[in-house]
Amino acid sequence: MSGVSFQTNPGAAHNPPCRTEDMHKSPAGPARILTTEMEYGDSPSPYGTGAGPPAATGTGTPTLPEPYHQTGLEVPQAEHEDPNAAPGRPRSRESFYKRRIAPIGVAIIAFLAKIKAILLLLPKAKFLVTAGSMAVSILAYTTIWGFWFAIGFVVLLLVHEMGHVIQLRREGIPASAPMFIPFLGAVVASKSLGRNALAEARVGLAGPVLGTVGSAACLVIWKATGNDFWRALGYTGFFINLFNLLPVVPLDGGRAMAAMSPWMWFVGFFGIVVLAFVFPNPIIFLIALFAAYETYRRWEHRRKGGPETEAFYRVSPRNRLLVGAVFLGLVALLVVGMDASHLPRTLN
């Protein structure tokens, strides 16, 4: 349907305005009304450019030409077209890279950022493992000795384990930070203890050496302050380091025996068994079980032999003598330290 309306203006007899309203139905949507304004002489007409309307008839009613109809079909809005684009202009499309590649790139960048953050936190994670296990051990030992003595005892364990860590790194072997296990001490993880038995002995003895220095420092503080707290702490440190020199694997003394005389492992194991019966204790029993397994495994490996095994246990007489001197010297110093720091007490 279409309707036509016009107005006559005496001042513009030859250029009356005309408004046409056409209703077109689009196959993609409801009917729309298109409105067009035009002036005769400014728009195309059947009379040519600038031609006016024909003269009025005798009835006094002007005869107008058939109005000009603008035709146009509404084009359905294409998928992904910009709804804000101006009418009559091509609507912009999102770039393929913007729609497909950009999200993938953003995801990759976010993933790499997380990986970088994890790598940066790894050293802190090692520190947190050590600090966390220390805190748990302090709480456990507090139930026996009280809070401050528990802190001092765990610090002495840390000094001992740092001796192993330092020597492992001197041997070119990566080592983990110490991890503490309540009532069992602490451990340091590494792929090996050295290229040969001599290197294993150096790593094993480095812990008691530094641990003896730490215990002796407690005696110095005791002499300077007169506080028996440091005396008792030093005595405990001397005892722990001496216990670790028992010649049985996996204790530090057993590591030294690998370079001196591996058959001493059986002597050390016998000593652990005697302690387990004389002083019944779950910790001693657990150490005895570990010692039995490790002694059997190491001895079988050595007995089967082979070029690599023989090369591992091959130590010159001079080096055996040096390892023996350090081992026996440490035992003597620790016994003297325990005697000097022994604090008698009476049990009521």
The pTM for the full model equals: 0.62
**How much is the pLDDT for 154?**
96
Query: 234, 215 in Cβ contact below 8 A?
Result: yes
CA atoms lying within 13 Å on the CB side of residue 61: 4
pLDDT value at position 12?
A: 43
Do the beta carbons of residue 101 and residue 94 sit within 8 Å? no
pLDDT at 307: 86
Domain boundaries of the chain, sorted by first residue: 110-341
- What secondary structure, in 3-state letters, does 100-136 show? HHHHHHHHHHHHHHHHHHHHHHHHHHHHHHHHHHHHH
CA distance linking residue 152 with residue 230, whole number of Å: 9
The CB density around residue 346, as the number of other CB atoms within 10 Å, is 4
Give the DSSP H or E segment for 205. Answer: helix 197-225
201 contacts 195 by C-beta, under 8 angstroms: no
Chunked in runs of 10, what are the mean pLDDT values of the chain (348 residues)?
43 44 44 42 45 48 50 47 50 55 64 52 64 92 94 96 93 88 87 86 95 96 94 95 92 92 89 87 87 89 84 91 94 94 73
Q: Which two tokens stand for residue 183?
A: 């009532």
Cα–chain center distance at 163: 28
- Amino acid of residue 245: L
Can you tell me whether residue 3 is helix, strand or coil?
strand
Instruction: Tell me which DSSP letter residue 323 carries.
Output: H
* Residue labelled with tokens 């050496």: 209
**17 forms bridges with which residues in the sheet?**
39
What 8-state DSSP symbol labels residue 49? T
**Which two three-digit tokens encode residue 193?**
């203890």
Q: Are 207 and 222 in contact (CB under 8 A)?
A: no
